[in-house]
Structure 1
Amino acid sequence: MHPATTPTAGPPPGPSHRTPRRRLLRGLLAAVVAAPLVLGAAACGDDEAPSSDPNAPVKLSIFWWGGEARAKLTEEALALYTKKHPNVTFEKTWQANQGYFDKLATLTAGGNPPDIFQIDDNYLSEYAGRNTTLDLTKYKDDGDLDVSKFPESLWQYGVVDGKLAGMAAGENTQGLVYNKTLLQKNGLPEPTTGQSWEEHIAWAEQVAKKTKLGTQDPSADYKAFWVWLRQQGKDLYNGSDLGFTVEDVTKWFELWKGARDRRATPTPDVIHEGNATDITKQLVVTGKAATSWVWVNQMPELKKNTKDELGVIAYPGDPSAQWARASMYWSVFRGSKHKDVAVDVLNFLANDPEAVKILGTDRGLPSNLDLRKQVSDAVSDPAMKQSIQVESDLAQKFGAAPQVPIKGHSKVRSELTKAAENAQYGRATPAEAAKQFVDACKSAIA
């Protein structure tokens, strides 16, 4: 872990943290009646009781994952908050993605979670279900957490069981990346948004006949399966249960068995390489397929690994099955002694022009559409410009957000890979692999 030093607060020259009247009233009430804390413990950081004085010193603990570049940008944005609110300082901790949720679980189980923490859709339902996350709904309704400039499906993708459990730190969506150089060199057409899955496979068959490179088989990719389900009027989850049946999965696996039989995809061994989550191993950049199924904001990382020009479009089928997905969220610990200030920090990170400019596109496209345009205009990386353009185009077509994945989602994802590879290698028929997958999913979410 890489704890950062806490900024030194300068002497406030007068009222520095301008607290909205309704939040000040909540603070006054909290000073009189101490609300019971989740897990019976205070968040780490400042252990002082809430004060009715808006200029009283406040120290918030904040925890996120990411590399050094993200840490630098986040610390700079938090330092700006302290500059504008000198009574508020931060105890900052960050680490790489691997092991992050183990650490967060340990802190939570010990009754000492951070006031503010980064989380993603693999775990948001789980933490909301434990009453660890603060319900942000009243702050949204009061305007203290302003999501009026967010795409509606973006902020809605943070709602769990009717409670707003997390604020989108950025937006992302699914993208089909293809090798534009390869196609142009061979006089082949580029794929287009709106083609059906069958049309995509026919296109890939045509490409493979001329280049021996078809489309990566995405039958193991939960993103592709999820979008395809939504196009069939289904979903990945329905309440606390699965939103699909064995028959649905069988149709999905059969679709891609047909593509493999037509040699529109690579061989199973190569498909397996593409199933790796490492972006550097995606087949579109290793030269083993003409496409890869990724998140749109991964375009810059893909481009670093190839000299070829890449294009990106929506997944096949009706693009309204895609939605403005939160690339990750900021959540507030329900038992924080300074929850109102913590929410104000979230609002600042999403809606302060200077803060949004600092954070840029590191966590996905800015959630605030007005500020997103300002950030987009300043982007110089061509690959990131492509990402922004395709998401801006798709924003007009996005459908409603699905429910946030339920507990066991990570296991569901890994079981899809296992079942799909059984079908890809011929170790099981599509129907057999589908049954294996659904049985494993039911066990995972039980």
Structure 2
Amino acid sequence: MHRAANAHVTTRRSLLRAAALGALATPFLAACGDDAGQQPAPESTEPVELSMFWWGAEARAKSTEDALKLYTAKYPFVTFKTTWQGNQGYYDKLATLAAGGNAPDIFQIDDGALSEYAERGVTLDLNSYKSSGKLDVKKFPEGLWKYGEVGGKLSGVPTGENTPGMIYNKQLCTELGIPEPTSGMSWEALITWAEQVWVKSGNKVYGTMDPSADYKALWVWLRQQGKELYNGKAVGATKEDLVKWFDLWQGARDRKAAPTADLIHEANGGDVTKQLVVTGKAATSFMWGNQIAELSKATKSTLGVVTYPGDNKGQWARAALYFSVAKSSAKRDRAVDVVNFLVNSPEVGKLWGTDRGLSSNLDVRKAVSDSLTDAVQKTAFAFETDLATKFGPAPQVPPKGHVKVRALLTTHAESVQYAKATSAAAADAFLKEANAALAA
């Protein structure tokens, strides 16, 4: 009943969001004009109020407000009308605002939605600002700022960088007398290591979370074989790839290296407090590397972080979040200047820490790292910094429909975990439904 109820809520939310996005498409495109604009230059000292919208918890709200106060201290004639809320319902509200011609001047977005909003003409193309130097990304890793491009248009500026990270219980390894997992270990080596955890814990702790429903893990695994999760507006994996992936984790469950379907489902929702490395039900969780700080707050155990198994070139510098400027904004030059300030200011970087990823600007990142006193945040910074030279090239930003594809992967991976479908049947169903979602 719990799973069915969640599915109903997710489906209803997706339909509402789709309806709002559909409503914004034609009227918005007709009203917004081109990307050039005739608004006053940032040098103007005329009073201006900018609207800004983001999601996050109270700590993010406070640090964002504090960052904007720094900008106002620099330019007293610029003030902000700010709105923030929790993640749930954020995109429904953003779509409704855009459809009504009231998109915020600046808004936070992630790569699950960037392509949708870019292709529907909501986001301003920032390439001209980058070319003129008014948006400075020279200190960003090239693959990172390019990850904000959709169809050749720079549609979002990364607020920070992160990459997938396997968070593990460092303390448990010591207690059980087993070696810690390492970056670059093979997937099979991880499963063998996880078997040891199960045996040495007296059959109390599974060694690893089963990430077969995790799009990040599947994507990294595919890249290690020279493929991508997406090939344009279609799934890049074949049926054979997906069968191998589902079978890999079926084998891990059979060997007691990975947990039962109910425990996997508990963590698949993404809630930090329900991750198995936090609840003590497994020794690893597949997350984003910078989330070690958040996970550490939810457990008394000491945690560590390594890359996902396999060749590290399968990982890439991923934009944790983006700031986009509305194409309809009458104050777009000033809005871009604010974004430029937020992503390049050392003071803002120190205010935000790892909350929006590790600072995109490498000089700011070093300044933040040097100022850290928190051991866990230092670990997150060191992890990302050490990986920088080992990353593979960034893939295309996920296409429109990515959010639906992620949900479909969870649905069909869980159908295998609960023995309701074979790996082959789940692969067939996923490919059919995912490709339909991407083509819509």
Selected match of 2:282 from 289, 300, 318: 289
Q: Does the 8 Å contact 1:153/1:399 carry over to 2?
A: no
**Matched residue SS, 1:300:** helix
Distance 1:357 1:235 in 2: 35
**Matched residue SS, 2:358:** coil
Distance 1:375 1:173 in 2: 18
Identity of aligned residues (%): 61
Map 1:12-411; keep pairs closer than 5 Å.
Answer: 38-40=29-31, 50-51=39-40, 54-211=44-201, 212=203, 213-411=206-404
Q: Alpha carbons of 1:131 and 1:41: their partners in 2 closer, same or farther (altered >3 Å)?
A: closer
Residues 103-131 of structure 1: per-residue CA shift (max 9 Å, x gap): 00000111110111110011000000011
| Structure 2 residue aligned with 1:27 | none
- Worse-superposed segment, 128-137 or 256-265: 256-265
Q: Does the 8 Å contact 1:280/1:301 carry over to 2?
A: no
| Structure 2 residue aligned with 1:26 | none
Distance 1:171 1:88 in 2: 28
| Structure 2 residue aligned with 1:32 | none
- In proportion to residue count, which structure has more helix? 2
Q: Does the 8 Å contact 1:249/1:434 carry over to 2?
A: yes
Amino acid at match of 1:313: V
**Matched residue SS, 2:359:** coil
Report the CA distance between 1:230 and its aligned residue. 0.8
Amino acid at match of 1:40: A
| Structure 1 residue aligned with 2:431 | 438
**Matched residue SS, 2:128:** helix
TM-score in terms of structure 1 length: 0.88
**Matched residue SS, 1:256:** helix
Q: Does the 8 Å contact 2:145/2:158 carry over to 1?
A: yes
Q: Which runs of 4+ in 1 moved over 3 A?
A: 36-39, 49-53
Q: Does the 8 Å contact 2:195/2:257 carry over to 1?
A: yes
Q: Does the 8 Å contact 2:110/2:322 carry over to 1?
A: yes
Report the CA distance between 1:348 and its aligned residue. 0.5
Residues 58-113 of structure 1: per-residue CA shift (max 9 Å, x gap): 22111111122111111111111112112222111111111111100000111110
Amino acid at match of 1:404: V
| Structure 2 residue aligned with 1:4 | none
Residues 219-275 of structure 1: per-residue CA shift (max 9 Å, x gap): 011110111111111111111222112111111101111212222111222222222
Q: Does the 8 Å contact 2:28/2:101 carry over to 1?
A: no
Distance 1:99 1:112 in 2: 17
Q: Does the 8 Å contact 2:28/2:122 carry over to 1?
A: no
**Matched residue SS, 2:159:** strand
Amino acid at match of 1:170: G
Residues 284-321 of structure 1: per-residue CA shift (max 9 Å, x gap): 11111111101112112211222111111000011111
Distance 2:167 2:355 in 1: 20
Distance 2:90 2:263 in 1: 31
Q: Does the 8 Å contact 2:40/2:333 carry over to 1?
A: no
TM-score in terms of structure 2 length: 0.89
Q: Alpha carbons of 1:325 and 1:289: their partners in 2 closer, same or farther (altered >3 Å)?
A: same
Residues 123-171 of structure 1: per-residue CA shift (max 9 Å, x gap): 0000000111111112112211111111122111111111110000111
Amino acid at match of 2:291: Q
Distance 2:50 2:299 in 1: 42
Report the CA distance between 1:332 and its aligned residue. 0.5
Larger Rg belongs to: 1
Q: Does the 8 Å contact 1:82/1:88 carry over to 2?
A: yes
Residues 336-394 of structure 1: per-residue CA shift (max 9 Å, x gap): 11211111111100112223223332211111111111111222222222111111111
Amino acid at match of 2:264: I
Q: Does the 8 Å contact 1:38/1:334 carry over to 2?
A: no
Let me know the Cα RMSD of the aligned residues: 1.7
Distance 1:283 1:94 in 2: 30
Report the CA distance between 1:37 and its aligned residue. 8.3
